[in-house]
Structure 1
Amino acid sequence: MSFSLFRASVRSTLATGCLPRAQLRNQLRSSIRKFSTETPAPKSNTTLYVGIGAAVAAAGAAFYAFSDSGSNAVKSGVQAAKVKANFVPTKEDYQKVYNKIAGIFDEAGDYDDGSYAPIILRLAWHSSGTYDKESKTGGSNYATMRFAPESQHGANAGLNVARDLMEDIKKDFPWISYGDLWTLGGVAAIQEMNGPKVPWRPGRIDGVQAQATPDGRLPDGSKGADHLRQIFGRMGFNDQEIVALSGGHAVGRCHANRSGFDGPWTFSPITMTNDFFKLLLEQTWVWKKWNGPKQLEDKGTHTLMMLPTDYVLVQDKVFKKWTKAYADDEALFFKDFSAVCAKLFELGVPTEQWVTSEPWIMKNADEK
């Protein structure tokens, strides 16, 4: 039975109310509970003028028009050809891309916990989380993780796996920008892992190496509350949004050969739940005795892990208030997580580039 069919049955059961959510989650955990091993400033854009006119019809289509100044051009050959041919992708075209991305999740085999969805979500997160609200640099607009040295930053270790997977998708849909492709992949990952719907819209364009961001803009898991507020504050997020975004650790795992940390955060690392918050509050966490970096493990099974930046969510008074709220109410977490992910994925994109004034809700791969 494929994971996509399994998730479809989960959604159906939730919708019909055949099982209490707690009982369903226990069955879900037992069905998928298996672990593999893991758990220089950019140039100013003041000389760059990018205009994208969006003429939105009922289908949500748009005609892109690009202009550039000097050598700092951002239009790719594919995008230029798209404009020349007057190709106007519709929402249905982007839905085909979504479905193609969702189709590769279950092809992971023995990789991690049997799904590529968590690492595709991490790609979307890390390519968007470089935004600096003061300098207006970074974010999802230019997809600069394609270039060194950004691709080699420590926080992006292992993401070559996700970029290679998405490169295969790009070959089938050469008209889509990398920024749109990667963030749409993040949306698909969340939704296909039984998470909430995440509003999304296209309009990102491909940049050049000179626009790559400096190292140090993404969170360091070994730090504390002040670090989280500094990193997320630079992007424009408040305390509540920091905690909500941290809930992304409900899925995936750390890899010792990448970040140095090791292990999954929850018992269901390929299914989105609020268990990350529940486990933070309900489990007894002790410092792991090993040769790796400082991290915590659950005292009971020694199979789960938490980063120091996770643990501060129950140590800091304000963070803990939201941690408890999300542990008590999964619907609230899903609502806030959806909103903050939509905001994250749009960081760094000028308003005039969007092809539609209102974001779309993409269908899950098994929805008609």
Structure 2
Amino acid sequence: MSVLAAIRAPARRNAFATAPRAAMRSSMRMRPTIRKYSTESPPNPPPKSGSNAWLYGSISGAALISVGYYLYSTSDAGKEAASAAKSAGQAVKVKTNLVPTKEDYQKVYNEIASILEDNDYDDGSYGPVLVRLAWHSSGTYDKDTKTGGSNYATMRFEPEALHGANAGLQVARGVLEKVKEKFPWISYGDLWTLAGVCAIQEMGGPKIPWRPGRIDGFAKDATPDGRLPDASQGSDHLRNIFYRMGFNDQEIVALAGAHALGRCHPDRSGFEGPWTFSPITFTNDFFNLLLNEKWVWRKWSGPKQLQDKKTGTLMMLPTDYVLAQDKSFKKYVKQYAEDQDLFFNDFSKTFSKLLELGVPENQWVTPEPWVLKNADE
């Protein structure tokens, strides 16, 4: 039995048994009010033979999904069905073109860009912490169980919000609530990943292909602790974490290049300091410094980390340092240190892949990712 059929049958029985007919008529009248975005969708192409029946059937199916979702989502036993209903409903909206346009998402991007700078936060920008939010909300994916990833935005819930690797990300989530209030139609998963794309591009990085279609899940969808990297570990740990997501050694190193941005905080990760001298500009400096500076173990009361011998102001994590020690990893570190264009190209593809982990193909609004404009373009 299909997901739609599984939801439709009990939903139909319960709805007619418990809901007044007037309420049912209201729930069926969803097409005139379903779209409330900032721009209108282009008209649908002329229907092919027999397509009208399918279109009206799909819209009716979406209405039934709404009824089923209402009936099921209020009980613990119905949470799984509710998640399936949301996914099926998103797929129907994609098929019937009842989705926001690229221009709608460009407006969200521009709004995020407008709030990036803040002289009272870290080095004057929320950009690095927004990149971290996008990465941590996506990097929980497990390709074997097909759980985790960016689809459900489960960091909104405990205990995932309290996982050690997510310490401090309440700052990023809080900043983006202002954007969510202005554009309530966007899902948290789309908002968080789009914020990461915006931050990379606005801080001088490459264009990141991105597409919307994620749905918001429930606390039951939250992932267990331990799926994100432990910075105190070595190369075997890195491979276990990233291979589980479906990445190879080259992609592991490419993603590590994001450490050109931001800094560590003792009250969050326990580590302290920036990786580069320009922590709000996206460059290949992480690789240059890792390869060419002399790194020594820092003598302090915190966890093991390295500092540059010359100034003592920069730091590297143990998981960073192994990239220059492991033979397979090191060859990519050298390539990216010597060629920033190569790094930008590989990072763009790999970060885009990361942000799509865990999202069913039929939920995507567009078959090919978009490239959104920078705020000043």
Q: Which band: TM-score by shorter chain?
A: 0.7 to 0.9
Q: Corresponding residue for 1:256?
A: 266
CA distance in 2, matches of 1:296, 1:356: 44
Aligned counterpart in structure 1 of residue 128 of structure 2, from 89, 94, 118:
118
Do the aligned residues in 2 keep the contact of 1:247 with 1:276 (CA within 8 Å)?
A: yes
Aligned counterpart in structure 1 of residue 182 of structure 2, from 172, 185, 198:
172
Q: Corresponding residue for 1:337?
A: 347
Q: Corresponding residue for 2:330?
A: 320
CA distance in 1, matches of 2:79, 2:5: 9
State the aligned residue count.
309
Do the aligned residues in 2 keep the contact of 1:60 with 1:90 (CA within 8 Å)?
A: no
Q: Superposed, which structure 2 residues align to 1:82-121 within 5 Å?
A: 88-106=99-117, 108-121=118-131
- How far residue 185 of structure 1 moved from its aligned partner, in angstroms, is 0.3
Q: Corresponding residue for 2:13?
A: none
Q: Corresponding residue for 1:290?
A: 300
CA distance in 1, matches of 2:199, 2:161: 21
Q: Superposed, which structure 2 residues align to 1:42-61 within 5 Å?
A: none
Do the aligned residues in 1 keep the contact of 2:148 with 2:358 (CA within 8 Å)?
A: yes
Alpha-carbon distance change, 49 to 321 in structure 1, aligned in 2, over 3 angstroms: farther
What are the Cα deviations for residues 302-342 of structure 1, in whole angstroms up to 9, with x where unaligned? 00000000000100000000000000000000000000000
Q: Corresponding residue for 1:54?
A: none
Unaligned stretches of 5+ residues in structure 1: 1-45, 51-56
CA RMSD of aligned residues (A): 2.5
CA distance in 2, matches of 1:342, 1:47: 30
Q: Which has the higher contact order (CA 8 A, sep 6+)?
A: 1
Alpha-carbon distance change, 353 to 324 in structure 1, aligned in 2, over 3 angstroms: same
CA distance in 1, matches of 2:283, 2:253: 14
Q: Superposed, which structure 2 residues align to 1:226-241 within 5 Å?
A: 226-241=236-251
Alpha-carbon distance change, 324 to 88 in structure 1, aligned in 2, over 3 angstroms: same
Q: Corresponding residue for 1:163?
A: 173
| Structure number, greater radius of gyration | 2
Aligned counterpart in structure 2 of residue 309 of structure 1, from 307, 319, 338:
319
Unaligned stretches of 5+ residues in structure 2: 8-40, 46-57, 73-77
Q: Corresponding residue for 1:195?
A: 205
What SS does the corresponding residue of 1:266 show, helix, strand or coil? coil
Q: Superposed, which structure 2 residues align to 1:61-80 within 5 Å?
A: 65=62, 67=65, 70-72=78-80, 73-74=82-83
- How far residue 89 of structure 1 moved from its aligned partner, in angstroms, is 1.1
Q: Corresponding residue for 2:160?
A: 150
What SS does the corresponding residue of 1:71 show, helix, strand or coil? helix
Alpha-carbon distance change, 60 to 335 in structure 1, aligned in 2, over 3 angstroms: farther
Alpha-carbon distance change, 60 to 91 in structure 1, aligned in 2, over 3 angstroms: farther
Do the aligned residues in 1 keep the contact of 2:99 with 2:365 (CA within 8 Å)?
A: no
CA distance in 1, matches of 2:134, 2:306: 26
- How far residue 110 of structure 1 moved from its aligned partner, in angstroms, is 2.4
Q: What percent of counterpart residues are identical?
A: 69
Do the aligned residues in 2 keep the contact of 1:59 with 1:91 (CA within 8 Å)?
A: no
Q: TM-score, normalised by structure 1?
A: 0.80
- How far residue 240 of structure 1 moved from its aligned partner, in angstroms, is 0.2
- How far residue 71 of structure 1 moved from its aligned partner, in angstroms, is 3.3
What are the Cα deviations for residues 203-251 of structure 1, in whole angstroms up to 9, with x where unaligned? 0000000000000000010000000000000000000000000001010
More helix by share: 2
Structure 1 residue 266 and structure 2 residue 276: aligned? yes
Alpha-carbon distance change, 219 to 120 in structure 1, aligned in 2, over 3 angstroms: same
- How far residue 49 of structure 1 moved from its aligned partner, in angstroms, is 8.1
The amino acid that maps onto 1:283 is: E
Aligned counterpart in structure 2 of residue 140 of structure 1, from 147, 150, 165:
150
CA distance in 2, matches of 1:366, 1:307: 35
